[in-house]
């Protein structure tokens, strides 16, 4: 069983997208963003650091869990550094301190996403963002 | 591989918030942090106190995530110098200064930056990230500092707090990179709250934004910090530090030192 838990994937060329597993840390109490506000927060962070070009970066929130404030983001590979640095330098949510913890970054979404979403990317179709985007 | 380190946690906090900072740093994967004691010579009568010993302050240190070791806590002294006379203190063999693990200077003028890079016995030179640079970096002192094994420190917490400071942080960092070409850079936090700390890989990614290459950015939070720590350690000894590590002996390797075919021949 343990052997079957691993799957080897070979990428023949640079991956089109990168996937980030992130968690938003907020001080206890106070408003928690819903999926739409979360996406808004990501775009705000991008606009703050990289301006309109950053805000125009194709970023999708694939899953978002309001209870744990964790999300899976997908971004085109050329914009990974921009997105990551924007998340790092985000310090406030609604005038209260917050921090994005980037838990994992990888060039393939398999393993995190439900099979229908991740297998979609294997066929060359783009997986449909499940949460608001 | 050298572990990740954050060489700047302010010491002036109360014990409880310092403990939560340490817990967060360990959780994020930093294997060493330095408690920073800042002395500004502008204010009169600044005595250099003895460093607080971390073992007294924290009886049990948190365990670094992903390892089984406890986080290492060092002491660091930062001198803010705005006049050449302040440097005399560093030249004199003051007993209390020797007790700190790392010594950093924050030069306010170009002349002092030159002195700090070329003559002072320090480990880190802090780069101002909260305002526009009062001077331009010049190549000779920076090259000299790189040769002497002195590292330049950039802070990222001001960039999280305020968008104006973020602009200065990035612009000052880029102008430094033009001169030092990404060598001898250390990126550290100066975070006062756990929510201002960022993980080591996030900080390395931030280094890309400052104009470092991927390898240099990762070195800025790992190997360069270790080198600065060792540079500080050499100050306490005559000329250098050597570590010996006991290596587990491989038994089977010795047995097969003589190839099997030769063994058979000698036996026969």
Distance (Å, rounded) from C-alpha A103 to C-alpha B14?
Answer: 29
**Residue B120 corresponds to which tokens in the numbers above?**
């002072």
Contact between chains at B160 and A90 (C-beta distance less than 8 A): yes
The helix (H) or strand (E) run that includes residue B39 is strand B30-40
Residue A44 near chain B (CB below 8 Å): no
CA B96 – CA B39 distance, rounded (Å): 13
Those residues whose C-beta lies under 8 Å from the C-beta of residue B150, and which sit 6 or more positions away, are: B116, B117, B122, B123, B124, B125, B184, B231
Neighbours of B72 (CB within 10 A): 17
Taking CB atoms and an 8 Å limit, are A85 and B203 in contact across chains? no
Question: Which residues in chain A are contacts of B209 at CB distance < 8 A?
Answer: 81, 85
Tens-digit pLDDT profile for residues B20-67 = 888 888 888 888 888 888 877 766 556 666 777 776 777 777 777 777
**Which residue in chain B has the smallest CA separation from A102?**
B202
State the DSSP H helix or E strand holding residue B159, giving kind and residue range, or none if neither. Answer: helix B157-161
B171 token code pair? 């612009």
Q: What is the pLDDT of residues B154-199, one digit of tens each?
A: 989 888 888 888 888 888 889 889 888 888 899 998 888 888 888 8
Between B163, B166, B202, which is nearest A102 by CB?
A: B202
Per-residue pLDDT at A65? 86
List the single range of A127-131, B50-54, B126-130, B138-142 with lowest mean pLDDT: A127-131
Contacts of A87 in chain B (CB under 8 A): 202
Looking at the complex, report in whole angstroms how far the Cα of residue B132 sits from the nearest Cα belonging to chain A.
18
Q: What is the pLDDT of residue B34?
A: 87
In the three-class reduction of DSSP (H, G, I as helix; E, B as strand; rest coil), residue B146 is classed as helix
Question: Within an 8 Å CB–CB cutoff, is residue B190 touching chain A?
Answer: no
Q: How far is CA B132 from each of CA A51, B173, B209, rounded to the nearest angstrom?
A: 21, 11, 18
pLDDT tens per residue, range A2-52 = 556 777 777 777 778 888 889 888 887 778 888 888 888 899 889 988 888
What is the largest distance, in Å, between two alpha-carbon atoms of chain B? 87
Burial label for B255, CB within 10 Å (0-12, 13-18, 19+), is exposed
- Sketch out chain B's domains with CATH numbers: 4-242 (3.20.20.140)
Q: What is the pLDDT of residue A119?
A: 42
* B167 inside 8 A of chain A by CB: no
φ, ψ for residue B144, nearest 5 deg: -60, -45
- The residue assigned the tokens 């014990």 is B15
Residue of A nearest to B211 (CA): A81
Q: What residues in B contact A46, CB-CB < 8 Å?
A: none
Strand intervals (E) in A1-133: 17-25, 59-65, 70-76, 92-93, 96-97, 99-106
Domains of chain A as residue ranges with CATH:
17-109 (3.30.70.3250)
| pLDDT given at position B133 | 82
DSSP H stretches of helix in A1-133: 35-55, 80-88, 115-122
CB pairs under 8 A between A and B: 45
More confident residue, A1 or B41: B41
């Amino acid at each position: 069983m343990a052997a079957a838990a691993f799957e080897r994937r070979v990428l023949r060329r640079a991956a089109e997208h990168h996937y980030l597993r992130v968690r938003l840390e907020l001080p206890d109490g106070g408003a928690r963003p819903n999926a739409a506000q979360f996406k808004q927060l990501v775009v705000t962070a991008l606009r703050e650091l990289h301006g309109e070009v950053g805000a125009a970066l194709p970023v999708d929130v694939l899953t978002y869990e309001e209870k744990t404030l964790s999300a899976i983001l997908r971004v085109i590979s050329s914009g990974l550094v921009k997105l990551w640095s924007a998340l790092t330098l985000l310090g406030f949510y609604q005038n209260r301190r917050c921090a994005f913890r980037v838990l994992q970054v990888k060039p393939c979404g398999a393993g995190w996403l439900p099979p229908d979403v991740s297998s979609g990317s294997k066929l060359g179709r783009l997986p449909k963002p499940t949460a608001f985007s | 591989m050298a572990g990740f380190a954050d060489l700047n946690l302010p010491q002036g906090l109360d014990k409880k918030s310092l403990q939560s900072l340490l817990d967060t740093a360990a959780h994020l994967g930093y294997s060493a942090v330095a408690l920073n004691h800042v002395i500004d010579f502008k204010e009169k009568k600044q005595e250099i106190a003895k460093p607080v010993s971390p073992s007294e302050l924290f009886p049990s240190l948190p365990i670094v995530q992903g390892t089984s070791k406890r986080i290492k806590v060092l002491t660091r002294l930062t001198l803010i110098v705005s006049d050449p006379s302040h440097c005399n203190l560093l030249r004199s063999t003051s007993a209390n200064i020797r007790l700190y693990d790392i010594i950093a200077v924050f030069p306010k003028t170009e002349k002092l930056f030159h002195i700090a890079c070329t003559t002072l016995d320090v480990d880190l030179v802090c780069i101002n990230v909260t305002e526009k640079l009062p001077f331009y970096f010049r190549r000779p002192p920076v090259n000299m500092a790189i040769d002497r094994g002195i590292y330049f420190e950039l802070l990222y917490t001001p960039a999280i707090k305020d968008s104006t400071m973020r602009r200065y942080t990035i612009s000052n960092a880029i102008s430094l990179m033009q001169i030092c070409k990404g060598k001898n850079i250390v990126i550290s936090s100066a975070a006062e709250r756990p929510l201002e700390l960022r993980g080591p890989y996030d900080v390395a990614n931030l280094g890309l934004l400052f104009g470092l290459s991927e390898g240099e950015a990762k070195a800025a939070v790992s190997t360069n910090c270790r080198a600065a720590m060792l540079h500080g350690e050499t100050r306490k000894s005559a000329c250098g530090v050597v570590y010996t590590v006991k290596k587990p002996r491989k038994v089977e390797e010795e047995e097969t030192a003589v190839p099997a075919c030769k063994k058979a021949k000698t036996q026969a």
